[in-house]
Amino acid sequence: MIGKRRPLGKELKDIQIGDNYSETKKVVDRDLLLYLGLTNDANPLYLQHDYASLTPYKRPIVPAVMLFGMVSSLVSMHLPGPGSHITHHEIIFTKPVYHNTKVYFTLEVIAIDEANQRIAMNVTGKDEKGDEVITGKLYVIPASRPNTLTAQSLENFF
Protein backbone atom coordinates (compact mmCIF):
# COMPACT_ATOMS: atom_id res chain seq x y z
CA MET A 1 0.00 0.00 0.00
CA ILE A 2 2.87 2.39 0.66
CA GLY A 3 3.68 4.40 -2.43
CA LYS A 4 0.38 3.56 -4.10
CA ARG A 5 -2.20 6.32 -4.05
CA ARG A 6 -5.62 5.26 -2.81
CA PRO A 7 -8.66 7.47 -3.18
CA LEU A 8 -10.81 8.08 -0.14
CA GLY A 9 -14.33 6.74 -0.24
CA LYS A 10 -17.43 8.81 -0.74
CA GLU A 11 -18.04 11.72 1.60
CA LEU A 12 -21.50 12.27 3.08
CA LYS A 13 -22.27 14.98 0.49
CA ASP A 14 -21.58 12.48 -2.33
CA ILE A 15 -23.94 9.77 -1.07
CA GLN A 16 -27.58 9.39 -2.07
CA ILE A 17 -30.35 7.15 -0.86
CA GLY A 18 -30.44 4.15 -3.17
CA ASP A 19 -26.67 3.99 -3.75
CA ASN A 20 -25.71 0.32 -3.68
CA TYR A 21 -22.88 -2.11 -4.13
CA SER A 22 -22.92 -5.87 -4.72
CA GLU A 23 -20.17 -8.45 -4.75
CA THR A 24 -19.89 -12.22 -4.63
CA LYS A 25 -17.40 -13.76 -2.23
CA LYS A 26 -16.53 -17.43 -1.94
CA VAL A 27 -15.69 -18.78 1.49
CA VAL A 28 -12.68 -21.04 0.89
CA ASP A 29 -10.86 -23.20 3.44
CA ARG A 30 -7.68 -21.11 3.26
CA ASP A 31 -9.52 -17.95 4.34
CA LEU A 32 -11.39 -19.86 7.02
CA LEU A 33 -8.16 -21.25 8.45
CA LEU A 34 -6.52 -17.81 8.42
CA TYR A 35 -9.52 -16.33 10.25
CA LEU A 36 -9.63 -19.11 12.85
CA GLY A 37 -5.87 -18.85 13.41
CA LEU A 38 -6.03 -15.09 13.81
CA THR A 39 -8.88 -15.27 16.31
CA ASN A 40 -7.59 -18.44 18.04
CA ASP A 41 -11.05 -19.96 17.57
CA ALA A 42 -10.99 -23.75 17.80
CA ASN A 43 -14.74 -24.39 17.65
CA PRO A 44 -15.09 -27.92 16.21
CA LEU A 45 -18.28 -26.84 14.42
CA TYR A 46 -16.13 -24.77 12.07
CA LEU A 47 -13.48 -27.39 11.22
CA GLN A 48 -14.16 -30.92 12.31
CA HIS A 49 -16.28 -32.88 9.86
CA ASP A 50 -16.77 -35.76 12.32
CA TYR A 51 -18.15 -33.48 15.00
CA ALA A 52 -20.23 -31.34 12.63
CA SER A 53 -21.82 -34.46 11.11
CA LEU A 54 -23.40 -35.15 14.52
CA THR A 55 -24.98 -31.69 14.75
CA PRO A 56 -28.13 -30.34 13.07
CA TYR A 57 -25.81 -28.65 10.52
CA LYS A 58 -24.43 -32.02 9.29
CA ARG A 59 -21.15 -30.44 8.13
CA PRO A 60 -18.79 -27.60 9.19
CA ILE A 61 -20.14 -24.06 8.92
CA VAL A 62 -18.55 -20.63 8.47
CA PRO A 63 -18.35 -18.48 11.64
CA ALA A 64 -20.96 -15.72 11.62
CA VAL A 65 -18.36 -13.13 12.59
CA MET A 66 -16.29 -14.06 9.54
CA LEU A 67 -19.32 -13.28 7.34
CA PHE A 68 -19.67 -9.94 9.09
CA GLY A 69 -15.98 -9.32 8.39
CA MET A 70 -16.73 -9.71 4.69
CA VAL A 71 -19.53 -7.15 5.02
CA SER A 72 -17.21 -4.79 6.88
CA SER A 73 -14.65 -5.13 4.09
CA LEU A 74 -17.25 -4.13 1.48
CA VAL A 75 -18.05 -1.01 3.48
CA SER A 76 -14.37 -0.15 3.98
CA MET A 77 -13.35 -0.74 0.40
CA HIS A 78 -16.41 0.07 -1.74
CA LEU A 79 -19.47 1.77 -0.20
CA PRO A 80 -18.82 4.32 1.13
CA GLY A 81 -15.21 3.15 0.83
CA PRO A 82 -11.79 3.91 2.36
CA GLY A 83 -11.97 6.22 5.37
CA SER A 84 -15.44 5.06 6.43
CA HIS A 85 -16.31 3.42 9.74
CA ILE A 86 -19.18 1.19 10.90
CA THR A 87 -20.46 2.55 14.23
CA HIS A 88 -23.43 0.24 14.79
CA HIS A 89 -24.83 -2.90 13.24
CA GLU A 90 -27.91 -5.07 13.58
CA ILE A 91 -27.22 -8.34 11.79
CA ILE A 92 -29.20 -11.58 11.64
CA PHE A 93 -27.60 -14.75 10.30
CA THR A 94 -30.69 -16.42 8.87
CA LYS A 95 -29.12 -19.62 7.55
CA PRO A 96 -25.73 -21.31 8.03
CA VAL A 97 -23.10 -20.93 5.36
CA TYR A 98 -21.01 -23.99 4.56
CA HIS A 99 -17.39 -24.13 3.40
CA ASN A 100 -16.76 -23.36 -0.29
CA THR A 101 -20.07 -21.52 -0.68
CA LYS A 102 -20.43 -18.36 -2.76
CA VAL A 103 -22.30 -15.56 -0.99
CA TYR A 104 -23.77 -12.67 -2.98
CA PHE A 105 -23.66 -9.57 -0.74
CA THR A 106 -25.58 -6.35 -1.38
CA LEU A 107 -25.28 -3.03 0.45
CA GLU A 108 -27.83 -0.24 -0.09
CA VAL A 109 -28.02 3.24 1.42
CA ILE A 110 -31.48 3.68 2.97
CA ALA A 111 -31.08 6.90 5.00
CA ILE A 112 -28.76 9.86 5.40
CA ASP A 113 -28.42 11.52 8.81
CA GLU A 114 -26.66 14.82 8.14
CA ALA A 115 -26.92 15.96 11.78
CA ASN A 116 -24.85 12.97 12.94
CA GLN A 117 -22.77 12.73 9.74
CA ARG A 118 -23.72 9.11 9.13
CA ILE A 119 -25.71 6.90 6.81
CA ALA A 120 -27.88 3.82 7.32
CA MET A 121 -27.49 0.89 4.99
CA ASN A 122 -29.28 -2.41 4.48
CA VAL A 123 -27.12 -5.47 3.98
CA THR A 124 -28.21 -8.79 2.56
CA GLY A 125 -26.35 -11.92 1.65
CA LYS A 126 -27.67 -14.84 -0.39
CA ASP A 127 -26.10 -18.20 -1.02
CA GLU A 128 -25.75 -19.97 -4.38
CA LYS A 129 -29.33 -21.25 -4.13
CA GLY A 130 -30.66 -17.73 -3.62
CA ASP A 131 -31.48 -18.34 0.04
CA GLU A 132 -30.89 -15.43 2.40
CA VAL A 133 -28.02 -16.15 4.80
CA ILE A 134 -27.47 -12.70 6.31
CA THR A 135 -29.64 -9.61 6.64
CA GLY A 136 -29.38 -6.44 8.63
CA LYS A 137 -28.74 -2.77 8.98
CA LEU A 138 -25.50 -0.83 9.33
CA TYR A 139 -24.80 2.70 10.49
CA VAL A 140 -21.69 4.11 8.87
CA ILE A 141 -19.72 7.33 9.12
CA PRO A 142 -18.39 8.00 5.59
CA ALA A 143 -14.91 9.27 4.81
CA SER A 144 -13.92 12.80 5.78
CA ARG A 145 -11.54 14.76 3.62
CA PRO A 146 -9.11 16.57 5.95
CA ASN A 147 -8.38 20.09 4.78
CA THR A 148 -5.13 20.99 6.52
CA LEU A 149 -1.48 21.31 5.54
CA THR A 150 -0.69 18.20 7.59
CA ALA A 151 -3.32 16.20 5.72
CA GLN A 152 -1.78 17.17 2.39
CA SER A 153 1.38 15.31 3.38
CA LEU A 154 -0.53 12.01 3.49
CA GLU A 155 0.49 11.04 -0.01
CA ASN A 156 -1.01 7.56 0.05
CA PHE A 157 -4.56 8.93 0.04
CA PHE A 158 -6.71 11.48 -1.81
Give 62-120 as a DSSP string. --HHHHHHHHHHHHHHTSS-TT-EEEEEEEE--S--BTT-EEEEEEEEEEEETTTTEEE
For the chain, how long is the longest CA-to-CA vector?
Answer: 61
Q: Which domain holds residue 54?
A: 19-152
Residue 75 region by backbone torsions, left for phi larger than 0, else alpha for psi between -120 and 50, else beta = alpha
Task: Determine the residue type at 102.
Answer: K
Any idea what the CATH number is for the domain that residue 110 is in? 3.10.129.10
pLDDT score recorded for residue 124: 98
Q: Which residues of the chain have pLDDT under 50?
A: none
The structure's pTM equals 0.87
pLDDT score recorded for residue 138: 98
pLDDT score recorded for residue 2: 58
Report if residue 158 sits inside a domain: no
pLDDT score recorded for residue 99: 95
- List CB contacts of 31: < 8 A, sequence separation 6 or more: 66
| Beta strands at 118-126 and 20-26: parallel, antiparallel or unpaired | unpaired
Report if residue 6 sits inside a domain: no
Give the model confidence (pLDDT) of 90-132 as tens digits.
Answer: 999 999 999 999 999 999 999 999 999 999 999 999 999 999 9
Number of domains in the chain: 1
CB 62 within 8 A of CB 46: yes
Report if residue 14 sits inside a domain: no
- Dist CA 45 CA 51 (whole Å): 7
pLDDT score recorded for residue 150: 55
